[in-house]
Amino acid sequence: MSKLGAYLRLMRPANIVTAIADIMLGYAASGALLQLWENGFEVGNLHLLGWLVLATIGLYGGGVVFNDVFDADLDRVERPERPIPSGKATVAGAAILGAVLLLGGIIAAWQVSAVSAAIALAIALLALLYDWKGKHQSLLGPINMGACRGGNLLLGVSAIPAAVAELWFISLIPIVYIAAITMVSRGEVHGGNTAALKGAALMYALVFAGIMSLELLPQFNLLYSLPFLLLFAFLIFPPLIKAMPAKEPKLIIKAVKAGILALIVMNASIAAGFAGWQYGLVVLLLLPVSIYIAKSFAVT
């Protein structure tokens, strides 16, 4: 692994692709996509999507880089293969990279609106809080991590700033889902806790209920979401169920990896409800990209 490869690994490239899916979902939910179709590409607001994608690349990448910065001492004992303890990357270098990425994410969001910049700043602070203290809290930690994802979804919605106040509640779906994955991930090194894994399964079920409840919105069509929801269930439940009785770290890691990659499918299912099955397929195309990148870069 080269030095460049080590720093790229710190950014979790496969995970960043899932964050882009958050933005694409929020963009569609805001109504910006409809305006784009009505106004035409030459006078539309497609450039807003580009800025928001750049923003989430910086925010997510910076957040996970700082995760390794704060965990450097622990990783020397538990995960010596990681870039910093292996010597391929330094703590100082990683901290500089993380700071540049976070600042760049906020600046990119500012190109869309002050609302977008405020959301980006909140995401950056939440990510740093999680890396520093949140991950060590059994209850608040998963909520902290979930709030980062919920904020990322709202960042996509902020393509139309007024839509944030109208659709804030959809951020609860990724908050619950990521909180569940975070609960599962606690067993990556030493093995899982059966109660925590069962709790995560219940939270997964709540996510499905939340997505289906969006049918109450006049602009959401559940029928378009159903095929994607079936694929979502197929991806997340079998690895989690398999990990429950064994509680082995390797199975826990597989369950976490499946949950992270399936974020794209979850986003595709909701995006399809807001913007049609064709747009859902466009979002879903990010999945093979993420899976391909995950072959070279770890997602946990």
How is residue 274 written in tokens?
Answer: 């807001």
Cα 153 to Cα 53, 74, 275: the distances in Å are 11, 31, 15
Tell me if 299 is assigned to some domain.
Answer: no
**Residue 12 contacts residue 57 (beta carbons within 8 Å):** no
Pairwise pLDDT comparison (34 vs 201), residue with the higher score: 201
Spatial separation of the C-alpha atoms in residues 216 and 28, rounded to whole Å:
17
Tell me what the mean pLDDT of segment 272-283 comes to. 95
How is residue 169 written in tokens?
Answer: 């509640």
119-141 core/surface letters (b: 16 or more CB in 10 A; e: else): bbbbbbebbbbbbeebbeeeeeb
CATH number of the domain to which 9 belongs: 1.10.357.140
Task: Tell me what pLDDT residue 53 has.
Answer: 97
Task: Tell me what pLDDT residue 100 has.
Answer: 98
Spatial CA neighbour of 112 closest among 27, 16, 20: 27
**Does 90 score more than 90 pLDDT?**
yes
Phi, psi of 113 (to 5 degrees): -170, 165
Task: Tell me what pLDDT residue 195 has.
Answer: 78
Tell me if 300 is assigned to some domain.
Answer: no
Q: CA torsion sign, 187 to 261 to 178 to 234?
A: negative
Tell me if 61 is assigned to some domain.
Answer: yes
Instruction: Name residues whose C-beta falls within 8 Å of residue 13's C-beta, 6 or more positions apart in sequence.
Output: 293, 297
SS (H, E, C) 53-114: HHHHHHHHHHHHHHHHHHCHHHHHHHCCCCHHHHCCCCHHHHHHHHHHHHHHHHHHHHCCCH
Percent with pLDDT over 70 in the chain: 92
Spatial CA neighbour of 218 closest among 19, 9, 14, 29: 29
Tell me if 160 is assigned to some domain.
Answer: yes
Tell me if 286 is assigned to some domain.
Answer: yes
Tell me if 8 is assigned to some domain.
Answer: yes
Total domain count, the chain: 1
**pLDDT tens-digit profile of 189-248?**
445 577 778 888 999 999 999 999 999 999 999 999 999 999 999 999 999 888 887 667
**Residue 262 contacts residue 294 (beta carbons within 8 Å):** no
Spatial separation of the C-alpha atoms in residues 130 and 118, rounded to whole Å:
18
Spatial CA neighbour of 116 closest among 49, 37, 21, 43: 49
**Torsion angle in degrees (nearest 10) through CA of 201, 11, 144, 135:** 80
Compute the mean pLDDT over every residue in the chain, rounded to the nearest whole number: 89
Tell me if 38 is assigned to some domain.
Answer: yes
pTM, two decimal places: 0.89
Domain span including residue 218: 3-294
Pairwise pLDDT comparison (216 vs 42), residue with the higher score: 216
**Does 98 score more than 90 pLDDT?**
yes
Tell me what the mean pLDDT of segment 31-46 comes to. 62
Spatial CA neighbour of 98 closest among 71, 123, 67: 67
Q: At what angle do helices 46-70 and 91-110 cross, to 10 degrees?
A: 160
Spatial separation of the C-alpha atoms in residues 255 and 194, rounded to whole Å:
13
**Does 41 score more than 60 pLDDT?**
no
Tell me if 26 is assigned to some domain.
Answer: yes
Cα 277 to Cα 134, 227, 286: the distances in Å are 37, 9, 15
